[in-house]
Structure 1
């Protein structure tokens, strides 16, 4: 399985830190934020990685280069204009699926997680579907996003609601028929849910959406103190 790390955000909530440094290259716990998912993917046997980028993206390429020092092969999908999550993945599909119609992992580059990836890399969703990792609702998103049923299926309606962790396994058929170049992923997921094509699992371990300088500093302290 191949993987994509989403790293094309502007990092506006991280300003002024991101005025001169792209968010994925911010330091936390002695490493750059994006190095954590790269290392975890390689440890799970996923070594073919695609990274999209936009704001100050050349810095990401210059720092990570071809990924060989991590034991990975990194390819890049630069975005000249903002494509949003769905559009960014669609543009990168030729790199992710050049061997056929196999599913692929997608990880948000601004999420720190210790969820095990070995089993996730073996998941094969139904064609046109997806497999999502959901987590407990953080304080800044108490309403959650989706419902994980006892059967493993994910639906949009019901209770209790959980938050999408930013980790998923997607199928290329999920994007069939899309004509836009810039679009969000969520509407495609909701449409697939309505067809019964989305299942998932509960997040295990530590999860942090590193969305603000305060959260970055808190995560840095936890990592340096060995609390994660």
Structure 2
């Protein structure tokens, strides 16, 4: 089954982006001729996604107003921030299918559409498929890599490729997690143990826009998209 729903993570506090996030949420920071959130949503629209879902927490009213009339749904976390795994679990009734896409909204993409690449690489037997990029092409990213992969694409944690923030994931294992606040890693780890978490490499360009210093890099990448 090819997913048509995507949870766009937009609920974070944006602390690394201070002071730019003092009065607006990080997803609404301008980049190129658009915003980080609109850039992500446009990629989904280009790939034919039918149900974009946005989770909300910090300054969520601004995001709701910005997207009025865009045909998106919202998963409201303004009562309590749930981290990535908990946010996905809360959004399941709105997403309405399994598997689903998720995408972080603090990155900029150029070249090959991330959703279409994941579509093309998804196979039966996978529980998760992460879009990765080699560390030397991860613009604006300060950390080491996140994953090592074998010849079949199966992933294990390690200083290899960088997770870009886009994935297809089955949500069955969420039912066994009783916590309300938990990371995506709590979903990935049992998949790694089962040999069902895979990765595929992004064929285009990517920039991590987690810090103010990354914005000139993102703008340059957008200019060459």
Q: TM-score if structure 2 supplies the norm length?
A: 0.88
Structure 2 counterpart of 1:15 = 18
SS of structure 1 residue aligned to 2:176: coil
Structure 1 counterpart of 2:147 = 146
SS of structure 1 residue aligned to 2:49: coil
Structure 1 counterpart of 2:215 = 216
2:63 to 57, 60, 65: 60
Map 1:184-195 → 2, pairs under 5 A: 184-195=183-194
Structure 1 counterpart of 2:105 = 109
| Alpha-carbon distance between aligned partners in 2 of 1:135 and 1:147, rounded to the nearest angstrom | 11
Contact 2:118 2:200 in 1 (8 A): no
Structure 1 counterpart of 2:129 = 131
Contact 2:147 2:156 in 1 (8 A): yes
| Alpha-carbon distance between aligned partners in 2 of 1:59 and 1:91, rounded to the nearest angstrom | 21
Equivalences, count: 214
Contact 1:13 1:211 in 2 (8 A): yes
Note the alpha carbon deviations across 1:50-80, whole angstroms, 9 max, x for none.
000110011001001141xxxxx31001112
Contact 2:118 2:131 in 1 (8 A): no
Q: Cα 1:211–1:171, aligned 2, differ >3 Å: closer, same or farther?
A: same
User: How far 1:124 moved relative to its partner?
Assistant: 5.0
Matched, 1:81 2:80: yes
Structure 2 counterpart of 1:175 = 174
Structure 2 counterpart of 1:96 = 95
Contact 2:28 2:63 in 1 (8 A): yes
Note the alpha carbon deviations across 1:71-93, whole angstroms, 9 max, x for none.
xx310011121101111111001
- Give unmatched runs, 5+ long, in structure 1: 68-72
| Alpha-carbon distance between aligned partners in 2 of 1:125 and 1:131, rounded to the nearest angstrom | 11
Q: TM-score if structure 1 supplies the norm length?
A: 0.87
Note the alpha carbon deviations across 1:9-63, whole angstroms, 9 max, x for none.
1001111110101000011111111111111111111131000011001100100
Matched, 1:39 2:42: yes
Contact 1:23 1:110 in 2 (8 A): yes
- Give unmatched runs, 5+ long, in structure 2: none
Structure 2 counterpart of 1:70 = none
| Alpha-carbon distance between aligned partners in 1 of 2:169 and 2:81, rounded to the nearest angstrom | 21
Contact 2:132 2:200 in 1 (8 A): yes
